[in-house]
Chains A and B, each alone.
Chain A
Amino acid sequence: MKHASNGRAVTRRQAIKRMSALGAGAAAVTAGGPRAFAQPKAPITLSFWTFDNPQQRPWIHKRVNQYMEKNPNVKVDFQWFTFADLGKKVSVGYATGTAPDGFVTGDWLMPTWLARNLIAPLDVKLLGYSSLDAFRKDHADAFVAGAMKDGQAYGYPLWFYGFCNYLNTKQFKEVGLDPVKDQPKTWTELGEVAKRLTIKQGNKFTRQGFKFAMHAAQWTMIQFNPIVSQVGGQWFDASGRCTINNEAGVKAMTIRASLARQYGAEDPADSIATFPLPQMDWLKERCAMFSCHPIPPAAIKSQNPVMESEGYFLPVQMAGVTPDKRYTTCYGFNLVVNARVPKAKQEALHDMYRFVMSDLVDCWEATAPFTLARKSGWTDDPRVKSFPHVQEIIKAKDNGVFFPRTPIWAELADAMHRAVQKVMLNNADIKTALDEAAAEVDRATAEFKKS
């Protein structure tokens, strides 16, 4: 960022800024469309935090740097932390007055921030939309429902995606199955196909037919949530009591456990998944099918270069209780603004966010196949359309269901994670495990209500 010592140069730059601000007006935000950046004149420093991801973080960083080049009076302190640590840093930051001005948050945490009034409502006009309605229509419905409260939008969505069933097509063909035609559509089919794909030596699995990742509570929720929805279950009833232990919940958990218990196609204790690479078992071809978010080619290449270069994998829709209910959980990340910072900084952040989000095809090129929440500005581009299997991935995003929106998200996820562990690893009775989980969630709800 340059501070010109030559007075004339500064004046010229300011003049150009004023002219473009006058000439542009509120522009529609489309790729290649005219851009208007209402530029704050005084020097301004912003702090912005995000989580680390090999594709996503460098792209945001690049866009922020580009923004700083275009707006020399703005200095952004860009910091990133691990996925798990970002939430803690932000919380401690709020507690001690050192929270960032803007940050990226997972949408499952929106209720947590909103319940405590920590994020500011967004002025969608500064983001380039003519009205709140235009904003709402441009984004996937349920995602917006999570980002909006009392008629205001609180998050500007970035990435948003669902899970797919990633098949190892080479292994399918080995046992005489066609990955496209024989892809499992129902849970029963999934169990049977998985059974055919399983190879065992004694009590050791050489290849598991299908695997659910069990390394983190977040993933447990992502995987279990759609099953609950598919069987018509509910996380909470109208009074806020947890109903995961009702008949539908038990049915959902039975389905979840069926791969191991009923079909013998999965060994929950045998996994080499790690936090950065939960799909390790699938990448190392220790399982033939795996439920996962969109996997970037670079991730596949890092652990299995042959699979990447020969392309013997295929994402398909996850199984459903019936073939028309093959949906998964959708979740994503929002750009938010700290409610406790002054107006001037908030406006500057809006401006920066608008710029960052103004070239989504560039985003796709850098971070594919992570899909974006916004509908406009990228899906029709040939560079997007030509990406392998992109239609399945977009379909998973469009059809997905959302997490239960609750301020006790962390307690809920941990309770379910424990329940799944008890069922899958300790062979616990499903109803008992769910009863315990529901009790834990109810306790947490009661605690939260008191605070």
Chain B
Amino acid sequence: MRRRAAVSAALAWTGLLPLAVLTFLFMLPIVWMTTTSFQAGEKMFQLTTEWIPSVWHPENYPNALSRSAFPRFFLNSAIVSASVMLGNLIFCTLAGYGLAKYRFRGDRLLLLVILSTLMLPLEVTLVPTFLVIHTLGWVDSYQGLAGPLLIDAFGVFLMRQFMLKIPSDYVEAARIDGAGELRILWSIIIPQCRAALAVLALFSFRDSWDQFLWPLVVVSRDEFRTYPLGLVRFGDDYGNPPTEQMAIAVLATIPIFLLFLLLQRALRKGFDLSALKG
């Protein structure tokens, strides 16, 4: 009895300290990236790291943005990622719900078939996907950039797993009460999946935001370029101080981080009992 109490206490207490240390270690590269973005160009590769710059160079940021059409690149990335996020939210939820709640023989096989779309690496399907996009006339366009990412099997899988846990009794009860299927989905299921939806929104936005290989193939014009293409091209040019490259990288983390903070509340809410009791 005392041993168990001691273990409980130990677990509760030891939680924070190692966590804080771990967080600090995890964040070291980010801290390095951020402080480097304020350094002078030639201080980038010092092995004795200067954690706090002796001279701050905030002008790295406007300089970096002006060297290439970065504002436009970021806007393009934002438009594409927002579309991808919306597409995933709508269709993955629908499909995940269908797989989770409407059980039929072979639905796990169907899940496997859907997951199989993730098993061939992008490099190999690059050329044929490009041909599809080319046939649709979507090269160098937002539709071309977002098209192949609009519905991701990860998202379907995620929603399915979360929706599995929702007891079917509620659904059955609602049906008996005469509620339509779509209404059930909207009023009963979705409020209970807030956390999963937040995760889905975050990850689909993030996966699209960071995409490099696909935009490289489908875009050749600056007006549709996304920021990873700009960043790589920027970095390859030794005329651009590498510290400015870090500045762009820091800027690139901001939108997703904001989205993350926004969705944190939804992540915390999780299971909402009140919707069921009503």
Residues of A within 8 A of B (CB): 49, 52-55, 77, 79-85, 88-89, 92, 95-98, 272, 274-277, 280, 284, 298-299, 302-305
Contact = CB atoms under 8 A, between A and B. Distances in A.
A83 B236 CA distance: 8
Contacts of A82: 232-233, 236
B217 A89 contact: yes
Q: Which of B134, B216, B220 has the most A CB atoms < 10 Å from its CB?
A: B220
B220 A89 contact: yes
B130 A305 contact: no
Given A52-B237, A88-B216, A96-B131, A303 B126 contact: no
Interface stretch (B109-117, B174-182, B238-246, B266-274): B238-246
A304 B42 contact: yes
Contacts of A88: 216
A302 B239 contact: yes
B237 A53 contact: yes
Contacts of A79: 220-221
Given A92-B127, A96-B130, A85 B232 contact: yes
Given A272-B47, A303-B42, A95 B233 contact: no
B115 to A, nearest CB: 27
B134 A276 contact: no
Contacts, number: 67
Given A92-B126, A96-B130, A96-B131, A276 B238 contact: yes
A343 to B, nearest CB: 24
Contacts of A275: 235-236
Interface of B: 41-42, 45, 47, 126-127, 130-131, 134, 139, 216-217, 220-221, 232-233, 235-242
A53 B221 CA distance: 18
A275 B233 CA distance: 12
Contact of A272 (B45, B217, B237): B45
Contacts of A303: 41-42
A92 B217 CA distance: 7
Given A88-B216, A303-B41, A304-B42, A276 B130 contact: no
A80 B232 CA distance: 12
A410 to B, nearest CB: 15
Contacts of A83: 236
A95 B216 contact: no
Given A85-B232, A89-B216, A302-B42, A277 B238 contact: yes
B93 to A, nearest CB: 34
Contact of B239 (A98, A298, A305): A298
B237 A276 contact: yes
Given A81-B233, A275-B236, A284 B127 contact: no
Contacts of A277: 238, 242
A420 to B, nearest CB: 23
Contact of A299 (B130, B233, B238): B238
Contacts of A304: 42
B198 to A, nearest CB: 35
A53 B238 CA distance: 8
Contacts of B42: 302-305
Contacts of B131: 96
A49 to B, nearest CB: 8
Nearest to A93: B220
A191 B23 CA distance: 47
Nearest to A92: B217
Given A54-B239, A79-B221, A276-B237, 6 more contacts: A52-B233, A89-B216, A95-B127, A96-B130, A303-B42, A304-B42
B240 to A, nearest CB: 8
Nearest to A97: B134
Contacts of A284: 45
Contacts of B232: 82, 85
Contacts of B238: 54, 276-277, 299, 302
B69 to A, nearest CB: 13
